[in-house]
Amino acid sequence: MSDSVHGTVLLGKVIDGSLNPPIERGAVVFEGESIAWVGPEPALPERYAGPDYRRIAGAGRSIMPGLIDAHTHVAFGEARSEEELALYTPVEYRTLKAAWNAKKILQAGVTSAFDAATTYNIAQNLRDAIDAGLFPGPRFAVSGRQLTTHQGLEDSFPNEMAFPPGQAAVLIKSRDDFIEAIRYQVKDRVDAIKVSGSNDNLITPDSLDNSAISDEEYALIAAECHRLGRLCTVHARTRDSVLGAARAGFDVIFHASHIDEAGIEACLAGGAVITPTLTLLVNLIEAGEVMAGVSGIDAFKREVEAAVANLPKAFRAGVPFLCGSESGWSPVPYGEWHARELAIFVELLGFSPLEAIHCATLGATGVFRRFGEKIGKLEAGRHADILVLDGDPTADIRLLMDRNKILHVFKGGEDVDLTPPPPRKKEWYFERHKIFLNGRLHYDPATRGRFITP
Ligand SMILES: [Zn+2]
């Protein structure tokens, strides 16, 4: 931008991130890093109409805040399994990959993201490198490695093995360990603590009435997180893990698929928000329709059914919802699925498109303690984190999943380069676990032929 240009005027339908009706013929003005003015185009102040303001306009456009993805794993490198995540790719290469992938997240229109568990200390250092201007990427708030017990998600391997340092978790063996791990991670500059309140349904398909952590432990964790000024979050798929964490005053419940009336009441009383993150499950179910060998399809279908039955009750009762994509696992590659959760909210949970957009913008700002007041809404004084779209996402929410419809992504007033990165030239042997064959090769003496079974 040359010195003679004082700012930028965007014209189109303005969807501001709140639940207020959009402005059909609206204008958004930003100067430098911040939004200067938002309102109906006919009311645009004279000073913004001159040639020293760049004007971006076109028929049928919409302007909305940059998306907030409330559940990413920027350090997971699109791992295909727990083994791959825990054992493969040295930390240095993982970190470089994470920086490469962060750009893809931003280019998809995600200007802020909450990273809900990392490996090593990658997420907090990538957050800082992006803030320092070293690499393009969203504004991140991050949790560290999740705190898990032997019953929680991420204690994946047999007891006789040492807990792998590359696992996205730290193994907790006593109540004192919880306190120590929280203080240790706070020293490592996390924004949030994440604990494993339940396992995954793939691993424990029928145990809905369990929790990996006792009620006393939830209370201990929440108190220490809050004493140190950190957000307290939990992976909680089962009924009891949701209830235990919500009653203890946890701030964010991830998944909550089996929440019941008592859990809803506890969320309302304690102020917890829910980030269902159904995209991973729905993507896996759909992957199972096009290829064999996807594990746990039936369990995922049962969980989505439960979520569809339970979650709308929580939302209508007043529990705030956030949109998270789970990007970082191989069924949810970076840069491709960040807006799918909005479509799931509309198509499966019965939200209006405007409600879904609110959940992915202004409604999600509470999990960003550092800059929550500055993002999520088109409003004077906030960061100019803005999307310009070809079309109207309140008429078609899937528009946000179409990269060709995202004309501009501004982060802090800077026009993000949307040129997709070239495909990777190589995937290294040290990034992936080794599979000889997905199945067993047999010899049939009668026909002298070979055949494969799963
Ligand atoms: Zn996750």
Asked if 61 and 390 count as a contact pair (C-beta separation under 8 A), the reply is yes
Q: Is the dihedral of CA 153, 158, 164, 166 positive or negative?
A: negative
Cα(157) to centroid(ligand 1), Å: 18
Ligand 1 centre and the CA of 99: distance in Å? 19
- pLDDT at residue 253 greater than cutoff 80: yes
State the amino acid at position 425 in one-letter form. Answer: K
In 3D, which of 334, 337, 341, 371 has the Cα closest to residue 355? 341
Distance 181 CA to ligand 1 centre (A): 19
Distance 312 CA to ligand 1 centre (A): 21
| Long-range contacts (CB closer than 8 Å, 24 or more residues apart) made by 48-51 | 48/7, 48/9, 49/9
Tell me the CA–centroid distance for residue 236 and ligand 1, in Å: 11
Report the pLDDT averaged over residues 365-374: 94
Spatial strand order in the sheet of 231-236: 169-171, 146-148, 192-196, 231-236, 252-255, 273-275
- Centroid of ligand 1 to alpha carbon of 117 (angstroms): 7
Q: What's the 140 CA to ligand 1 centre distance in angstroms?
A: 15
Question: Quick check: 174 pLDDT over 70?
Answer: yes
Kindly state the tokens that stand for 248: 């203890």
Residue with tokens 């494993």: 196
Question: 10 Å Cβ neighbour count for 299?
Answer: 18
pLDDT average, residue stretch 156-167: 93
In the reported structure, the alpha carbon of residue 411 is separated from the centroid of ligand 1 by a whole-number distance in angstroms of 25
Mean pLDDT of 4-18: 95
CA distance 403 to 203: 35
Residue 91 region by backbone torsions, left for phi larger than 0, else alpha for psi between -120 and 50, else beta? alpha
Give the sheet arrangement for strand 139-142, strand by strand.
Answer: 67-72, 110-115, 139-142
Question: How many residues are listed for the chain in this entry?
Answer: 454
Tell me the CA–centroid distance for residue 25 and ligand 1, in Å: 39
Going from the Cα of 71 to the center of ligand 1, the distance in angstroms, rounded, reads: 6
Per-residue confidence at 347, pLDDT binned at 50, 70, 90? very high
Residue 1: pLDDT band (50, 70, 90) is very low
* Ligand 1 mean position, distance from CA 260 (Å): 22
- Return the pLDDT at 207: 64
**Per-residue pLDDT, 453:** 86
- Residue 365 CA to residue 352 CA, distance in Å, equals 20
Distance, CA 72 to ligand 1 centroid (Å)?
A: 7
Q: What share of the chain is helix, strand, coil (3-state, %, to 5)?
A: 35, 20, 45
* pLDDT tens per residue, range 276-311: 999 999 999 999 888 877 777 888 899 999 999 999
Q: Is the pLDDT of residue 204 over 60?
A: no
CA distance 52 to 61: 22
How much distance in Å is there from the Cα of 326 to the middle of ligand 1? 5
Q: Is 27 helix (H, G, I), strand (E, B) or coil?
A: strand
- d(CA 305, ligand 1 centre) in Å: 19
326, 71 Cβ separation under 8 angstroms: yes
Q: Which amino acid is at 137?
A: G
Residue 175's SS3 state is: helix
What pLDDT, on a 0 to 100 scale, did the predictor assign at position 206? 54
Question: Distance from the CA of 94 to the center of ligand 1, in angstroms?
Answer: 17
Domains and their CATH numbers in the chain? 1-65+372-421 (2.30.40.10), 67-338 (3.20.20.140)
| Distance (Å) from CA 322 to ligand 1 centroid | 14
168 C-alpha to center of ligand 1: Å? 10
- φ, ψ dihedrals at 452, nearest 5°: -120, 135
34/13 Cα distance (integer angstroms) = 20
- Angle of CA points 202, 334, 395, to nearest 5°: 95
CA 153 to ligand 1 center in whole angstroms: 10
Give me ligand 1 centre to Cα 255, in Å: 9
Q: What's the gap in Å between 135 CA and the centre of ligand 1? A: 24
Which residues are 63's β-sheet partners? 14, 388
Distance 325 CA to ligand 1 centre (A): 8
* Residue range 44-81, pLDDT digits in tens: 999 999 999 999 999 999 999 999 999 999 999 999 99
